[in-house]
Amino acid sequence: MKKEIILTGDRPTGHLHLGHYVGSLINRVKLQEEGNYDKMYVLIADCQALTDNFDNPTKIRENLREIVLDYLAVGIDPSKVTIFVQSMIPELAEYTFYFMNLVTVSRLMRNPTVKNELKEKNMDESIPSGFLNYPVSQAADITLFNTTLVPAGVDQEPMIEQTNEIVRKFNSLYGETLNECKILLPDSDICKRLPGLDGNSKMSKSLGNCIYLSDTEDELKRKVMSMYTDPNHIKIEDKGQIEGNTVFTYLDAFCNDEYFKKYLPEYHNLDELKNHYRNGGLGDVKIKKFLFNILNEILTPIREKRIELSKDMSYIDKVIIEGTEKARCDAINNMKKFKHAMKIDYFE
């Protein structure tokens, strides 16, 4: 069986949160452990992050190492996975430049994820061309390394689609050179798009509704206790609603029967708990405490490992520098067939 080349990435604009964890990090660690790959890369997308943070490069700089701390804390193993910095691979910029010829501006404007971001950021009027182009640069990230599989969240689906369109266009113009890739989404719908604490759309830094992997136990407790539930469930006796109740959405994502035995033995499973809530007589504080215990059990080892790792930042630097050197070698190598196909390898 042909082995995969796996690549994914994150913008270093802040610490990673629970949405990243269920949406992509868990899958990365699983793939890493299954070992069915030739190569596995994680790219720190600083250039992409700059496309909407060009006025605040300090933010990107400060988060570069933080994001690697998050990776290692969840179990990404730098001896198996090449972690590298986008801006330190100039071939990516070069690739992007040629790919820009293969996409129309109107196609870029139709990318649903980009459209959403433009709306969120009120950029409708003055779109920097760099921002509009970031899906093209992402196509370069993916294809330069011959990627076959991209573990990512649903918001990345339009990027993969656009990448494969570029690949087909390239191949039809310059001959079969690049391969298409597939996205690997999380198993469950909830994990595909974990809502934020406020129950609003997805967990997102800019909306300030995140639980970070690096949050302290106190921060975690405070956040869980402030979560959106059912606004009409005021007294304990009131009948409660499960649908759209963020605490139950999270329980759906994280809870199993073992946690009941440990933290809430008067119930056997989530269905029992939900029924009680629906019928009235179960207070929000109780379900929130239960959720806190579960999340704290999941996040404590991650938090502790992160603190341990942060005591030696020179090790983190070493991981980034060595990973980037490795990725650069692959990039230079893979660039050759690309230039040959485009007939710009004049003196080879």
Residue ranges binding ligand TRP (CB under 6 A): 7-11, 43, 45, 48, 138, 141-142, 150, 152, 156
CB of 177 to ligand TRP, least distance (A): 19
Measure the CA–CA gap between 154 and 159, rounded to whole angstroms: 10
Q: Regarding beta strands 4-10 and 182-184, do their DSSP bridges make them parallel or antiparallel, or are they unpaired?
A: unpaired
The helix/strand/coil state of 55 is coil
Q: Which is nearer to ligand TRP, 10 or 215 (CB)?
A: 10
Closest among 233, 177, 213 to 75, alpha carbons compared: 213
Q: What is the DSSP string of 225-258?
A: HT----TT--STTS----TT-HHHHHHHHH--HH
Q: Which is nearer to ligand TRP, 119 or 239 (CB)?
A: 119
Bridge partners of 84?
43
CB of 43 to ligand TRP, least distance (A): 5
Q: Which is nearer to ligand TRP, 51 or 245 (CB)?
A: 51
CB of 277 to ligand TRP, least distance (A): 35
Measure the CA–CA gap between 19 and 223, rounded to whole angstroms: 14
185 close to 154: Cβ distance less than 8 angstroms: yes
Q: Which is nearer to ligand TRP, 92 or 264 (CB)?
A: 92
CB of 183 to ligand TRP, least distance (A): 9
Q: Which is nearer to ligand TRP, 40 or 294 (CB)?
A: 40
Q: Is 241 exposed, middle or buried (0-12, 13-18, 19+ CB in 10 A)?
A: middle
CB of 96 to ligand TRP, least distance (A): 11
